[in-house]
A and B are shown apart, each in its own frame.
Chain A
Amino acid sequence: MLQINTSLKLLSSHLTDDDLASLLQKWTHKITLNRFDYLCKTGQIENRIYYINKGTFRTYSLDKGIEKDEIFGFPNDFYCSFVSFLTQEPTKNNIQALSKAEVIGINRTDFYQVILSNRKLERVWRQYTEQLFIQRVERSLLLRSTSIQKVKLLLENKAEIFQLIPNKYIASYLDMSPATLSRMLKQL
């Protein structure tokens, strides 16, 4: 719980231990996963937000039978199929562990009950949602760049991804073939 406490406080310097107490006690669902296990599959309705204690994940969807990686999850990230969590409609995503992993989850009902009764927490959630939106816009802009620009930008913004995630998933994330990715990496 210390780990998630620290991560929540990083989201806002205004949060006190009192603010977090009610939220943390609801973060009760601990799940351990093996490599390639699924946390969530297409068609399910997302009912929890997870916090990644250990391990890495990928979120992908199928586009005409081809897996398209959209988001990666790392230790200390809050992670789930957010659209489905918000809309309560079946998700189009699959969330798969890429290593042995451990997450803890909070139920949606508990989550909203807590944040709706604490204004500071609701504000943090609002700011978090703003960032989800911004990341989404940034990603669609990134995908319209040239291959070399895409790889360069990713190296600049999140170089550690190349240590943590196999190249074939990064290639899919950048919407290019693995061969193009390794050619671009050599050029750079």
Chain B
Amino acid sequence: MDIQAIKTYFRTKNPDLTDADLGLLFSKITIHKKIKRFDYLLKEGEIETNMYFILKGAFRSYIVQNGQEYCDVLRCSNEIYCDYVSFINQTPSRYYLQALSATELLGITRADYNQVVLDNWNIERMWRKETERLYIYRVARDNILRLSAKDRIKNLLQIRPALFKEVSHKYIASYLRMTPETFSRELKLLK
């Protein structure tokens, strides 16, 4: 597992994090999971008790409404992942969190996480900045969906190029609310 990648990731959130801060955080990262392709990390109705860091593979979070799947989140390696709303509020999840490939994750329990955030100001600050970023991303995503099909793809290619390598295109198409046919047509035109 790539501890250095996680350290770098956390430090980009808060450059003030010392080795001691990160040592404290890592001492609480006690969960190690491998999830097979198409298996679930969390299902609708369950309560999110952990926060994960993806070491390998990709996930999607989707909701089922009126018999239809809507993919709202795509995450791949070196990103933090969980159902944040359920994690923060401890309410049942509305989402299915599904592995899209063979995946490997590290995780921290909510109880440990809350404790470490209370014990260490630098870690709490990192989480504060991460929360701000989550909010900014969420609004940006709502705005992207108003664009034309071509501009949606262009925008996503710009901000998250890694997704196009790690996630099968039919899920990206669903994430961008277009058919796989439209997606591959527009993607070809862009290249």
Contacts and interface: CB of A to CB of B under 8 A. Distances in A.
Interface of A: 61, 63-64, 82-83, 86-87, 92, 119, 122-123, 125-126, 129-130, 132-134, 136-138, 140-141, 144-146
Contacts of B88: 130, 134
Main secondary structure of the interface of B (DSSP, over half): helix
B152 to A, nearest CB: 14
Contacts of A138: 85
Contacts of B25: none
Interface string B62-106: 010110001010000000000011001100001000000000000
B135 interface: yes
Interface residues of B, number: 26
Main secondary structure of the interface of A (DSSP, over half): helix
A133 B142 contact: no
Nearest to B89: A134
Contact of A86 (B66, B125, B136): B136
B128 A136 contact: no
A63 B146 contact: yes
B24 interface: no
A177 B138 CA distance: 25
A166 B86 CA distance: 33
A146 B72 CA distance: 18
Interface in B118-139: 121, 124-125, 127-128, 131-132, 134-136, 138-139
B131 A133 contact: yes
Contact of A123 (B72, B124, B146): B124
B132 A140 contact: no
Top 4 A-B pairs, shortest CB-CB distance: A126-B128, A133-B135, A129-B131, A136-B138
Contacts of A130: 88, 131
Nearest to B65: A144
